[in-house]
Chain A
Amino acid sequence: MAENPGMPVRPSGRLLRAPEHFLSPAQIAEVTAGRRGFLRGAFAAALAGTGGVAAAQGTGDANILELPAHTKGLGQPVATHGYGQPSQYERNLQRRESPGLTRVSAASVSFAPLQGMFGIITPNGLHFERHHQGWWDIDPSKHRLMINGLVKNPLVFTMDDLMRLPSVSRMHFIECGANTGMEWGNVAVPTVQYTHGMLSCCEFTGVALSTLLDMAGYDKKAGKYILVEGADGSSMTRTVAMERALDDCMVAYAMNGEMLRPENGYPLRMVAPGIQGVSWVKWLRRIEVGDMPYGTKDETLHYVDLMPDGLHRQYTSIQECKSVITSPSGGQTLLDKGFHNITGLAWSGRGKIRRVDVSTDGGRNWRTAKLESPILSKCLTRFNFGWVWDGGPAILQSRAIDDTGYVQPKINQLRAVRGTRSIYHNNAIQSWRVAEGGEVSNVQVY
């Protein structure tokens, strides 16, 4: 994996303790040996350009006392970038592949950096990707959607047609069925990006699928299923229950106020709320109404859950209730003891989040977190929980409950029924261990 150049590791703010956060063991030995001159040198190097130490010295913070260039000069003009970009200081937040997970990047996954996200909406450029045969940027004037099968009127729509129809906009999460799949047997990856990053949430805009099915005159008696099919090389196909299709599925052309990104199916994708991501077929070209499930490759060979008795469960579509603390989380170091906001995401493919509880002692005692609005059906919900870290070891967990009353399970409860080789549908409680010194790591405790 090519490492992105990234932001230098530089402390800022009140990072006054624990030099081990950015010094090497050899340098720490120097510090412990009392060679303060060395320490000053190391700090000077590490803090160049920041006011970390200055805050505690002299008459005040140099960042306040010495007016910076941006306060004393002229900034850049409007429309310098016709399409704005994140700050140069944000370049560490990238979607990334998990090394060794796949061999070819055109049939792979990139994980969304949940550790750095706020609220519930995923920025379009950080939405996770899963492609089976590479992605395309399709000319929308040439894209067509066909509806056929058990319908009175097989129809063809252009993008112009679809965008003229009444539109709906709704916020929904999308989660790959294999999200957290690497952790069924044991801890395998270090950060929330890799444990839970096949998860994103957008406001989607498109046409209610029920509108299109009505226009085609679908067979209300025999039409129990639909097949959705993509226009890319893989021509991905998945079966969706007609009941779900009529309820809240849509064919979407927009995400978060702009057209879909090519990597997310531009110009048209299926949105199947609550259902695993593979059914949200991208570059959607065709919907067929049928009277039986289609048993496609991704319903027969993949996205089937292996049980301990050797039987595979097929058509396991619903993403059950799940949550994860995104900060503090694995691979991070707490700056200092004292107050920290434990924050994370909760979601359920069956409806709304009713409650999230947080434990800081590995699941012995729990308190209820604050849910931020909006709390929407089949959508991410942000939770926050105030915590004063005493500097000692802790294990952070979150546990979500949805409006069906279902309580997110522990990994050992899942394993007791489904074994360790199911790959899909791991919605276990995630544990993050905070060590003395503040380093947070991925652990499994139950």
Chain B
Amino acid sequence: MSRCIELASACLGATALCLTLAAPAAAQQSFPGIGRAATPAEIAAWDIDVRPDFKGLPKGSGTVARGQKVWDEKCASCHGTFGESNEVFPPIVGGTTAEDIQRGRVKALTEPVGRTTLMKLSSLSALWDYINRAMPWDRPKSLSTDEVYAVVAYILHLGDILPGDFVLSDATIRQAEQRLPNRNGKVKYEPLWNLKGKGDVTNVACMKDCPVGAILASYLPDYARDAHGNLALQTRAVGPTRGVDTSAPSLNAPPPPPTDPALALANRHSCMACHRMEGKHVGPAFKDVAARYAGKPDAAAVLAAKVKSGGAGNWGQIPMPPNTGLSDQDLAVLVKWILSGGS
């Protein structure tokens, strides 16, 4: 770029001639007098980003030992002595294994556990660049280049990724990256990157009698009612609604998901281990049983006897065990429920 700058300054005197000479700057000429060339020193002062291919990474090096010293002085108060703290920020270290390092994928990411930095980290440039530009949190850009190398080395050492005698430098950083436990754990997802991409989840615009589940799948428990303060004070005091006074107990708490007492009974006596209301499972569907007995005057008594004694052959060869422990009262409820098709 320096050639352009020289050209530009040489041209200050003889504008007419230079308009043709300074062809690269033609676009800029559409708004004369606005903007100026950045100097190499200015670009160097601000252009600090390090890309995944390590373009932009300055020369330098740091040992794990030096990294520990910097860490204990400048990082541990927020992130914990071992990078494990969850007190101020999410933990940095933990959740990765030697097997993950071999594979380049972190197994714990498929499990319902919290995520640490090292579980997610797939390119070492991100860690180096971020510490260099933004850490320590309250004094960003105060670390020297070698200190950044050292701290990165120490974090990777805390995660058992690098040995204690490792020297991280612009020459060894690719080698270190090849040991990141989640280096193969990312995919550039084009459908949400491209404006014209099609997402992976869409719906259909059903308008009438649409299929819906019958229950409230989730709602706030009553004890969390005031977890966000008094909602009455977070809503306008005039208009079609008022905020709910959550300093008082709920008077309109959603009811628990509706439970059918007969279904609860069927669950308690393990009927539902083998039967479903609809569709054959191990045993026949209760709706099919109800259909077979429909209209028979002694249906309840016959079915009650079958439930109690068990047997095989009527609905296939898988035997139903006897249920001698059922009280007559429970039995009557269950039989009535089965014959009614669950209503």
Contact = CB atoms under 8 A, between A and B. Distances in A.
A442 interface: yes
Contacts of B33: 164
Contacts of B243: 9, 92, 331-333
A99 interface: yes
A310 interface: yes
A21 B232 CA distance: 10
A299 to B, nearest CB: 8
Interface in A16-41: 20-22, 24-25, 28
B212 A445 contact: yes
B240 A335 contact: yes
A297 B210 contact: no
Interface residues of B, number: 110
Interface in A293-343: 293-297, 299-301, 304-306, 308-318, 320, 327-328, 331-335, 340-341
A310 B205 contact: no
A177 to B, nearest CB: 10
B31 A165 contact: yes
8 tightest A-B CB contacts, nearest first: A6-B233, A439-B252, A310-B109, A313-B189, A297-B130, A332-B241, A300-B126, A316-B192
Given A99-B227, A364-B212, A333 B244 contact: yes
A6 B212 contact: no
A436 B205 contact: no
A365 interface: yes
B197 interface: yes
A191 B87 contact: no
Contact of B140 (A99, A235, A306): A235
A153 B237 contact: no
Contact of A133 (B140, B185, B219): B140
A439 B33 CA distance: 62
B219 A8 contact: no
A187 interface: yes
Interface string A200-244: 000000000001001111000000000101000111010001011
Given A98-B228, A233-B140, A441-B219, 18 more contacts: A9-B245, A107-B89, A115-B234, A152-B25, A156-B38, A237-B129, A299-B126, A312-B122, A312-B187, A313-B189, A333-B241, A363-B212, A407-B204, A409-B203, A413-B203, A429-B203, A435-B252, A445-B217
Given A148-B47, A155-B28, A103 B244 contact: no
Given A90-B236, A296-B49, A439-B251, A331 B231 contact: yes
Interface string A174-214: 00000000000011111101100000000000000001001
B310 interface: no
Interface in A43-90: 89-90
A444 B219 CA distance: 7
Interface string A329-367: 001111100001100000001100001010000111111
